[in-house]
Structure 1
C-alpha cells in the first residue's frame, strides 16, 4: 500500500481543525490571532514605508527635473576686454546650437541669473531672477503647468511689455496677485561716473506658478531673457546654459559630450551634483528603515513559534494517537508546518491588502490625520514638497511578501519538528 502524497487533503484537514481550537483551548486560538495580527501589521508597515519612501524620492526628483536644468554649462573665469574677471558667455546662441546637436539632448537654452530684492506695498523679499526666453520657459513642465498656475504666459517676452512670472511662495510672501506690479531692486545697477547705483524697475505679474517645491516657489522669479540682459548689465551675454536631456537619470554619461560641444573653457554641473548628497541620504535611510522593519516582521513571525509550541503541548495526546495509527514523522511535521505557515500566509495577504489600500488612498488618509491633529502635520518649508506622497512599486511589495513568507516558513519548522519527533509512548503514558 503506497503512502499518501505530501500535503495531502487529510493533512490540511487536521491542520485546519487544530487552528480552529475549541473554547476550552482558547489559549491556542488567542496565540494564533496574535500571530496573524502581528504579521499583518508588520507587512503593512513595511509596504507603507517602502511606498512612502519611493513616492518621496520620485516626487523630489520630479520637482527637480521639472523646474531645473539637467545639466548647467558655465564658462570658466576669464579676463574681459575691460580687464575685469568675467564668466559671461557671449556666443550663447552658437553654443546652444552645438549642444542641441548632441544625441540625447532635448533642449539647450541661454540663461541670465541674478539675486535681487522684490518689493510690494511695503513687503520685501530676496528672490532669484531667471532670465529666460518665452519658448524655453514654456518647455519646463513644472513651471508651465496650467493646472497648478494662475494667469497666462501670453504676455511674457512680448517687446515693451514688462511681464514676469513668480512662484506661489513669492506671491504669498508679498501679497501679490496676477495683475499687480512689483518692484525689483538690484544692487548691481547702472554704472555712473560716481559709481554703481542700484537699479529699480517695476514689472507686472502676469503668471504665478507652483513647481511643487517649496524652495523653488518661495524664491524664483522668471523674467524675459532680453529684459534680464538689460537689467543685470549683461547685454550680449548669458551667465549660463541650461540643458535638458532625454534620460536625466543617465546624465553622467552625457555631460562629457555636452561640454565637448560647448567648447573649451566650460564646466558642467548636473542635477545629481546639486542634489546627490540628499539622494544618497535617502538611499541610506531607505536601507536602514528596511532593516528595522524586517526585524519587526521577524518579531511578528516569532509569535508563530509561541503559538505552535502551545499547540504542540496541548495536542500531545492527539499526536500520540496519530502516530500509533500509522502517521509518519513527516506527516506530523507537515501538519504543524501547515498550521504555522497558513498563519503567515493569511497575515501576509492581509498586510499586502492594507499596504496597497494605504498607498492608493494616502491623500484622504493624510487629510484625516492632519484634520485630527489640528493641521500643521506636514511643513513644506522643512520637507521641501507640499504633501506626503506614496508610490506603490510591485518590486517593494514582492520584497515584503518574500521576507514575510520566508520568515514565517523558517520559524515554523522548529516547533513542527518537535511535534514530529514526539515519542507516542511518552505522549500517551498518563492518558
Structure 2
C-alpha cells in the first residue's frame, strides 16, 4: 500500500467535505438536526452572557454615577469636643477655614460647608420625612446630578437663595410644584420655659430636580446655608464639609492629605465607606453570574460533541474510504474539527449579534415588557435607579467570544480524534 502523503492543513477539499457533512439530510442520520440544536444552543448562551455582562456593567456604572453625581466624594467632619459653653459638640465653628484648606489640597475640586438635619415636610395635609441639606447657592450650582445635568428638572435653580430645591420624589409625595410653599417642621426648635417647641417655617419651592436615584429624589431637600443655620440653631457653625475630588475612584489616596489639611480634630468618610458593602456585593454577584452563564455556554458546546459523535458513527464508511484513498489521520481530524468548530463560530457570531442588539435597544425592550405586564416590571424603590441600564463594552464582548470559541474548539477535538484514529479496515468490514 502506498503511504499516505500529508496535505496542506485546512485545504479546500477538507472544507468541502466538512460542509457536505454539515448539510447532511435527515435520512442520513439526522445530523443536520443536531447541528441546528448545537447552533441555537451556542447562540442563546452567548447572547445571554453578553446581555448579562452589559447589564451588569451598566447597572454598576449608573449606580456609581448617581452616587458621585449627587453625594459628597468625601465627607469631612469633626470629632467630639467640648465647646465654650462646656457642652460636647461635633459642629465645625471654623468651617470657612476648613473649607479653604481642603480646597487647596491637590485633586480637590470643591469643598462646601453643610448643615444637615431630618425634618417633616408638609403641604395641605400631605406629609413626608425629608433630609435637609443646608448649602450655599454657589456650591449647589456645582452638584452635577442636581444643578448641572439632572435627569429632569423644573423651575429655576438660580432662584435657590429665595426658597428651597426639592427632589422629584418629595414633590410627588407632597403633591407640590414650583411656586408652592411647603412647611418644614422640626421637633428641635426654640427652647422655652415650658420646654422645646417645634420649629415651623414655610419656604417656596423654586426648583425640583431628579438626580436619577429613587432614594435621593424621595428624601432630599436643599435649603440655603444661612437659612439652615438659623432653622437648626447652629449659630455660625457647620455640621460637615462636602468635598468633591477629580478622581473619585482613587479617593482612598486622598484621605491622608485631607486629614492633614484640617488637623487632628478632623475625620473623613468616603463614598466607598458609605457604599462599599453594596459594591462588593455587586462584584460577588457579577462573578457568580459569569460562572453560571459560562456553564450554560459549556452545556451548549457539549451539544456539538453529541452531534459530532453521531456524525462520526454515521460516516464510518466514508472515513474508511477516505483513509483508503490516501487521507491522513490529521486530514480526517481537521475535517471533523471544521464540522464542530464551524458550528461554534457561527453560533457565537449570531449570539454576539443578538446580545449586542438587546443591549443597545434595552430601553425599548423593557418598555415593551413593562407594557405586557401592565406596568411595574421595574420597581425603582427596590432597584434604586429608574431604568435598567446596559453598557456594551468591547472587553465584555471579547470575553464572551473567547469563552464560547475556546470551549467549542476544545470539545470538538475529542470526537474529531476518534474519527481520525478509526481503522479503515474495521470501518469497511461490514459494508
- Verify: 1:196 aligned to 2:196, yes or no: yes
SS for the counterpart of 1:156 is: helix
Structure 1 distance, partners of 2:64, 2:117, is 24
Q: Aligned partners of 1:5 and 1:267: how far apart in 2?
A: 71
User: Residue 125 of structure 1 aligns with which residue?
Assistant: 128
Aligned to 1:42: 45
Which residue is equivalent to 1:156?
Answer: 160
TM-score (norm 2): 0.97
Q: CA deviation at 1:223?
A: 0.3
Aligned to 2:322: 322
Q: Deviations over 1:136-160 (max 9, x none)?
A: 1111110013661011112112xxx
Corresponding position of 2:109: 106
**Match status 1:87 vs 2:90:** yes
Residues 411 and 146 of structure 1: CA distance in aligned 2, closer, same or farther (over 3 Å): closer
Residue matched to 1:298? 298
Alignment of 1:11-410 (within 5 A): 11-25=14-28, 27-144=30-147, 145=149, 148-157=152-161, 161=162, 163-410=163-410
User: What stretches of structure 2 of length at least 5 have no aligned partner?
Assistant: none
Q: CA deviation at 1:3?
A: 3.4
- Following TM superposition, by how much is the alpha carbon of 1:394 offset from its aligned partner in structure 2, in angstroms? 1.3
RMSD (Å), alpha carbons: 1.1
> Could you tell me how far 1:125 is from its partner in structure 2?
1.0
**Secondary structure in 2 matching 1:208:** strand
- The alignment of Structure 1 onto Structure 2 pairs a total of residues equal to 427
Q: Give me the whole-angstrom Cα distance separating, in 1, the residues matched to 2:280 and 2:151.
A: 32
SS of residue paired to 2:157: coil
Task: Quote how far apart the aligned CAs of 1:2 are.
Answer: 6.7
Question: CA shift at 1:26, angstroms?
Answer: 5.5
Deviation, 1:192, is 2.5
Determine the C-alpha separation between the residues in 2 that align with 1:25 and 1:281: 52
**Secondary structure of 1:48's match?**
helix
Task: Give a deviation string over 1:242-284, Cα, whole Å, max 9, x none.
Answer: 0000000000011110111022211100000000000000000
Q: Would you identify which runs of 4 or more consecutive aligned residues in structure 1 move more than 6 Å?
A: none
- Provide the residue aligned with 2:421 in structure 1: 421
Contact 2:31 2:310 in 1 (8 A): yes
Question: Do the aligned partners of residues 299 and 146 (structure 1) sit closer, same or farther apart at CA in structure 2, a change above 3 Å counting?
Answer: closer
SS in 2 for 1:111: strand
Q: CA deviation at 1:59?
A: 0.5
Structure 1: stretches of 5+ with no match in the other structure: none
TM-score w.r.t. structure 1 length?
0.97
- Greater alpha carbon shift after TM alignment, 388-397 vs 407-416: 388-397
SS in 2 for 1:422: coil
